[in-house]
Amino acid sequence: MLPSTSETSSATRQTGGTKLARIVFDEATIARRVRELGRDITAAYPDGDLLVLGLLKGSFIFLSDLVRRIDRPLQVDFLVAASYGEHTVSSGNVRLVYDPETTLEGKHILLVEDIVDTGKTLNKLVALLRARRPTSLEICALLHKHVAEHLELEAKFVGLDAPTLFLVGYGLDHAENFRHLPYIASLT
């Protein structure tokens, strides 16, 4: 789908002139799925008392839209794991550079991730979070490429099935660029 003329000039300004290959998910599609995910999560936690753990930086826009669609008492905290650097292929080297302040023991944890690709990041994090004995642990991913060979824990909530392309926008970056785009586009 190509942006209209006015969107094209805005898109060109937003990307600093870099041409993105194609808009894969537009704003309306993302907003509709986020609303639906919010409804599903609300139904899945009738008692609330949820700790929504956003994996930074990629989930920051998704998480902020998502929590406003969850109609339950909840708390928000973040994890920062570093992996890709400037590459577009997962290295599998996951480092935790910020650990949540909040105690996880005895809580319902919902780990919010931008995209599941090889699953290496999630596999490391799931092991780490399970060791802290939460009452429950589930994953909500905006995008899922469905290419992971092994997932310690499959995402219970998935927004959109993603093509096996490198995607940017709505939080997703390439070398820290393009996170602010309101849509999701493929880089090549």
Backbone angles phi, psi at 100, to 5 degrees: -60, 145
Judge residue 7's burial from the number of C-beta atoms within 10 Å of its C-beta, 0-12 exposed, 13-18 middle, 19 or more buried: middle
What character string, x for contact with ligand IMP (CB under 6 A) and - otherwise, covers 53-92? -----x------------------------xx-----x--
The upper half-sphere exposure of residue 19, i.e. CA atoms within 13 Å in the direction of its Cβ, equals 3
Given candidates 38, 100, 119, 134, which one binds ligand IMP under the rule CB under 6 A? 119
Contact 160, 33 (CB under 8 A): yes
What character string, x for contact with Mg ion (CB under 5 A) and - otherwise, covers 47-66? -----------x--------
Q: Is 117 in the site for ligand IMP (CB under 6 A)?
A: yes
Q: Which of 65, 77, 114, 117 is catalytic?
A: 117
Smallest distance from ligand IMP to CB 127, Å: 13
Judge residue 185's burial from the number of C-beta atoms within 10 Å of its C-beta, 0-12 exposed, 13-18 middle, 19 or more buried: buried
Question: Is 117 noted as a catalytic residue in this protein?
Answer: yes
Smallest distance from ligand IMP to CB 179, Å: 9
Structure tokens at 25: 């998910």
Given candidates 30, 50, 51, 115, which one binds ligand IMP under the rule CB under 6 A? 115
Residues that bind ligand IMP (CB under 6 A): 58, 83-84, 90, 113-121, 166-168, 172
Active site residues: 117
Binding positions for Mg ion, rule: CB under 5 A: 58
